[in-house]
Amino acid sequence: MKMTPAVLIVGALMVFWASAFIIVGIPSLTMKETPSEIWRPLTPLEKAGHRLYVKNGCSYCHSLFIRVNDWDIGAERIAKAGDYVGVEPAILGSERTGPDLSQEGGEHSDDWNIAHFTNPRFTSPISLMPSWDFLTESEITALTAYVQSQGGKHADLRQARQREWKKQAVEAYSGGFDRNIEWLHAQVPEVWRRMPNPYPATEAALQRGKRIYQQLCVNCHSPVGDGNGPAMPFLSPPPLNFTTLRRHMVENRYIGGIFYYQIMNGITGTAMPYFKKHLESEKIWDLANYLAVSFVGHTDANTEPRGIDASFEGAWENRYPPPGRERPDLPVAPPAPVP
Amino acid sequence: MFKFASKPQSAALAFMVSGSVWFVVGAVYGFMSAIHLVAPEFLPHVGALVFGRERPVHVNTMLYGFVGPMLVGCGLYYLPALLRTRLWSEPLAWAAFFFWNLTVLSGPVGFAFGITQGREYNEYVWLADVSLVIAVVCLIVNSALTIANRQEEQIYVSIWYFMATFLWTASNYPLGNVMWHPATGAMPGLIDSIFLWFWGHNLPGLLITPLATGAAYFVIPRVARTPLNSHTLSLLGFWLLIALYSHIGGHHVLQSPIPNWLKTVSVVDSIAMVLPVSIVVINLWMTARNFGRRIWGDPAARLVMGGVVWYIVTCIQGPLQSLPFLQRVTHFNNWTVGHAHIAMLGFGGYIALGAMWHIVPLITGRELYSKKLVSLQFGLVTFGLTGFFLVLTAAGLVQGTAWHNGETVLRVLPQLVPFMASRAALGVFIFTASLVGLYNLLMSLRRGEEQEGAQLKRAEDAA
């Protein structure tokens, strides 16, 4: 075959346009924009937020579709074609340096999002996201509105739940520390409110708990657990001051199960997110032991009622017993590790 | 006033110089964004310096600023040289140079301030899109009329690629950038991702690949001082490239809800891409067989051959990672970033640099300022890029397997620190290489040694 100019030019264009017809022509002719069951139009504020999302390159680190093999935020719903109706551009994204945001709406409270945009380390100390504090307040509000719309009608349901519980949480907080903690405890199911921490608070376990605290909790609840982390000014109600918990003991001890339940499920309506996707059982119990020992001063780890000790557990005596249960035969507990 | 614009081969040189400058700019932005992936609070409170705005500047400047124009510059030299004629119009080539660089300039001055369409590889705003299309059309006219005015009957394979690049880009770029929607440059809804990745993948495939392949086809036989191995293989490689490459953009959104038939097409044709790539590589390797010493001994040809090696690595990895089962782990993480770097800097960038170093003395009639600096650049880029590839691939596997086992994106971030830190450190090598290259190029233009008459003669007869 001889390449003449005509063969080259006509041939190259013909093959290209044939391919283009297959790849973009046929989809244009056949794909229909049918809204999915969760789709709803964006409000003007959310649209403004979407423009900011596009302009600032959020899509280089956040994807907008959930795959069948995903476990992270939003994994409850696999993306459908009808989720993107009318969005221009719907940037699906090619990288996940941060989590997928397609179902993010209502996963976190509005004030969590605003603190997070101002400085992502405030709410997620290990985040790699830039601070967006150079944006104006109204731009951050728009971005928050956009993120909170992700997930459509599902997001609206979660947002409504956030708002409903926020009212109660703010009201409880305005009643003072003690009223607040009573309310918080009342939201934990009865079984959890009687469950001691089943894991021994060994040195290793406390170290693991400390590492998790520093990675996930420290910038809201602060290094000394008094709730005065850098995120605090953004949050209403503010993060819990753990040290006040010593006034709220059940049968003279602070119950590990309460910590576990609240870490696992979060406190909807407040900025406290759920951690059940980030942490699994042992890590949450380790963290609960760390909070109890460091900020409350004692832990109910491994006390009755308890089942068979797990096979890995050595002989362990609680060196951080609740007041009145000290064991004079044991060496004095070293001071609790402070981060 | 515009006398310089009619000097023979001046536009070719201008394209190469601009490519070298953009390489430095792109490397600065790449380095900055790499630092931000380790230390997000580095230089805080500056809107223009956040990852989301740096990354498009880095990517677009490297693609459209460094690799693309440098290869266009090479082509503007070899096109008339291989046809034994002059470029049809030098001023028209300068016009292309002007409009092309205007588009590239809109990256650093626009993206940094949020002036962007935000679609990956399609970020340039509408006016910049128009400017690029004008540049491409100028190049089509110029190339076609140069071919028409040729003194040489045979049209060599490099020219097929060079000519076709612009024909494809002029059709493809407006399509993928949805230029009939000037405000957003996007289609509404999910179908936009199909338009986006049609260009998103054809950008390396039908802009960079044919330019780089054409340049390699020019340099390798010249340095080996032997005819090309096989005309048939050239033909096969060329037609298979366009027939297959244009179908595979869907593999970038393989796990999204786009139509299943489109996913199937993209995977099947991605695998089939092994064919045109192997054909080109085999053709070049067979040409260089027995002349390895000449290729390796010539710093410019060494870079070109290095690019050919990266090409085969990229294009074995690419088809593999289009497999749905593999993509569950390799998609969405730094594995892909590693792949993109060996494709663009490895394949495209190596060949662009090598071909430039080969061609600059042919244009100026002077020796390069320093061949040692070319070798140094080869060493720096090779160390940096090999490091990138290993580090990013490893980081991607850490991320992908952790996610696949149920770990969240946030929890894996601390594990990335050593990888991201070494990646940023390796960036120093790439950045230095870009500086060394620019210095060497400028010095070669200013005071490279005059070549001997015999050498000059050889340069003219060469093609």
pLDDT at residue A25 greater than cutoff 80: yes
The residue length of chain A stands at 339
Q: Are A9 and B406 a contacting pair at CB < 8 A?
A: no
Nearest-by-CA chain A residue for B116: A55
Instruction: Give A250 to chain B, closest Cα distance, Å.
Output: 34
pLDDT at residue A154 greater than cutoff 70: yes
Q: List CB contacts (< 8 A) between B265 and chain A.
A: 22-23
Q: List CB contacts (< 8 A) between B252 and chain A.
A: 94
Q: Are B45 and A12 a contacting pair at CB < 8 A?
A: no
Residue B453 confidence (pLDDT):
59
Q: List CB contacts (< 8 A) between B206 and chain A.
A: 16
Mean pLDDT computed over every residue of chain A: 92
Percent of chain B topping pLDDT 70: 96
The residue length of chain B stands at 463
Nearest to B119 among A31, A81, A89 (CB): A89
Domains present along chain B, CATH in parentheses: 7-462 (1.20.210.10)
pLDDT at residue A339 greater than cutoff 60: no
Among B36, B172, B256, B265, the strongest candidate for a mutation testing the A interface, having the largest count of A CBs within 10 A, is: B256
Q: Does B189 touch chain A (CB under 8 A)?
A: yes
Stretch B1-19: mean pLDDT, rounded? 88
Instruction: Give B247 to chain A, closest Cα distance, Å.
Output: 6
Q: Is A78 helix (H, G, I), strand (E, B) or coil?
A: coil
> Do the Cβ atoms of B301 and B358 come closer than 8 Å?
yes
Nearest-by-CA chain A residue for B232: A1
pLDDT at residue A331 greater than cutoff 90: no
Nearest-by-CA chain B residue for A128: B40
R_g of chain B, CA atoms, integer Å:
21
Nearest-by-CA chain A residue for B185: A89
Q: List CB contacts (< 8 A) between A70 and chain B.
A: 403
pLDDT at residue B165 greater than cutoff 60: yes
Residue B276 confidence (pLDDT):
95
Nearest to A126 among B194, B332, B414 (CB): B414
How far apart CA A148 and CA A152 sit, in angstroms, is: 9
Closest by CA to B80, choosing from B241, B235, B218, is B218
- Please state the φ and ψ torsions of residue B366, each to the nearest 5 degrees: -120, 155
Among B36, B199, B408, the strongest candidate for a mutation testing the A interface, having the largest count of A CBs within 10 A, is: B408
Stretch B416-444: mean pLDDT, rounded? 97
Q: Are B259 and A31 a contacting pair at CB < 8 A?
A: yes
Confidence of residue B85 (pLDDT cuts 50, 70, 90): very high
152-171 in chain B: CB under 8 A from chain A: 155, 160, 163-164, 167-168, 171
ipTM for this prediction: 0.94
Among A97, A133, A216, A275, the strongest candidate for a mutation testing the B interface, having the largest count of B CBs within 10 A, is: A97
How far apart CA A154 and CA A161 sit, in angstroms, is: 11
pLDDT at residue B289 greater than cutoff 80: yes
Among A59, A94, A127, the strongest candidate for a mutation testing the B interface, having the largest count of B CBs within 10 A, is: A94
Residue B452 confidence (pLDDT):
64
Mean pLDDT computed over every residue of chain B: 94
Looking up tokens 């071909």 gives B355
- In sequence order, the β-bridge partners of residue A250 are A253
Stretch B386-401: mean pLDDT, rounded? 97
- Sign of the torsion formed by the C-alpha atoms of B15, B21, B25 and B27: positive
Residue A262 confidence (pLDDT):
96
Looking up tokens 């770097």 gives B341
Confidence of residue A255 (pLDDT cuts 50, 70, 90): confident
Instruction: Give A331 to chain B, closest Cα distance, Å.
Output: 37
Residue B456 confidence (pLDDT):
55
Nearest-by-CA chain A residue for B231: A1
Residue A327 confidence (pLDDT):
66
pLDDT at residue A323 greater than cutoff 80: no
pLDDT at residue A1 greater than cutoff 90: no
Q: Are A99 and B409 a contacting pair at CB < 8 A?
A: yes
Nearest to B256 among A55, A65, A96 (CB): A65
Domains present along chain A, CATH in parentheses: 44-158 (1.10.760.10), 175-339 (1.10.760.10)
How far apart CA B316 and CA B219 sit, in angstroms, is: 24
Stretch A197-210: mean pLDDT, rounded? 93
Residue B463 confidence (pLDDT):
44
Q: List CB contacts (< 8 A) between A1 and chain B.
A: 235
Nearest-by-CA chain A residue for B335: A95
Instruction: Give A50 to chain B, closest Cα distance, Å.
Output: 11
Stretch A5-21: mean pLDDT, rounded? 95
pLDDT at residue A329 greater than cutoff 80: no
B379's CB contacts (< 8 A; 6+ apart) are: none
Q: Does B137 touch chain A (CB under 8 A)?
A: no
Determine what percent of chain A falls in helix, strand and coil, rounding each to the nearest 5.
45, 0, 50
Residue B158 confidence (pLDDT):
96
Residue B123 confidence (pLDDT):
96
> Do the Cβ atoms of B445 and B364 come closer than 8 Å?
yes
Q: List CB contacts (< 8 A) between B184 and chain A.
A: 88-89
How far apart CA A129 and CA A109 sit, in angstroms, is: 18
How far apart CA A204 and CA B2 sit, in angstroms, is: 76
Q: Is A253 helix (H, G, I), strand (E, B) or coil?
A: strand
> Do the Cβ atoms of B35 and B42 come closer than 8 Å?
yes
pLDDT at residue B154 greater than cutoff 60: yes
Residue B3 confidence (pLDDT):
74
pLDDT at residue A335 greater than cutoff 80: no
How far apart CA A29 and CA A239 sit, in angstroms, is: 53
Among A3, A22, A68, A287, the strongest candidate for a mutation testing the B interface, having the largest count of B CBs within 10 A, is: A3
Q: Are B52 and A61 a contacting pair at CB < 8 A?
A: yes
State the CB neighbour count (10 A cutoff) for residue A172: 20
> Two tokens at B350?
């190596």
Residue B1 confidence (pLDDT):
52
> Do the Cβ atoms of A248 and A182 come closer than 8 Å?
yes
B404's CB contacts (< 8 A; 6+ apart) are: A69, B328, B329
How far apart CA A291 and CA A3 sit, in angstroms, is: 76
Q: Are B55 and A60 a contacting pair at CB < 8 A?
A: yes
Cα B170 to chain centroid, rounded:
17
Closest by CA to B185, choosing from B252, B130, B245, is B130
Residue type, B335: W
Nearest to B198 among A23, A79, A89 (CB): A23
207-246 in chain B: CB under 8 A from chain A: 235, 239, 242-243, 246
**In what helix (H) or strand (E) does residue A118 lie, and over which residues does it extend?**
helix A110-118
On the question of a cis peptide bond just before residue A305, with omega within 30 degrees of 0, the verdict is yes
Stretch B368-393: mean pLDDT, rounded? 97
Determine what percent of chain B falls in helix, strand and coil, rounding each to the nearest 5.
80, 0, 20
Closest by CA to B57, choosing from B29, B99, B24, B20, is B29
338-397 in chain B: CB under 8 A from chain A: none
- Sign of the torsion formed by the C-alpha atoms of B61, B63, B67 and B69: negative
Nearest to A57 among B118, B144, B332 (CB): B118
Q: Are B246 and A3 a contacting pair at CB < 8 A?
A: no
How big is the A-B interface in CB pairs under 8 Å? 236
Buried b (16+ CB within 10 A) or exposed e, B304-337: bbbbbebbbbbbebbbebbeeeebbbbbbbbbbb
Stretch A252-259: mean pLDDT, rounded? 86
How far apart CA B38 and CA B29 sit, in angstroms, is: 15
Q: List CB contacts (< 8 A) between B44 and chain A.
A: 131, 133
How far apart CA B358 and CA B215 sit, in angstroms, is: 10
Highest mean pLDDT among A301-310, B384-393, B440-449: B384-393
- What would the pLDDT profile of A82-135 be if each residue is shown by its tens digit? 999 999 999 999 999 999 999 999 999 999 999 999 999 999 999 999 999 999
Q: Are B189 and A124 a contacting pair at CB < 8 A?
A: no
Residue type, A322: P
Stretch B312-319: mean pLDDT, rounded? 95
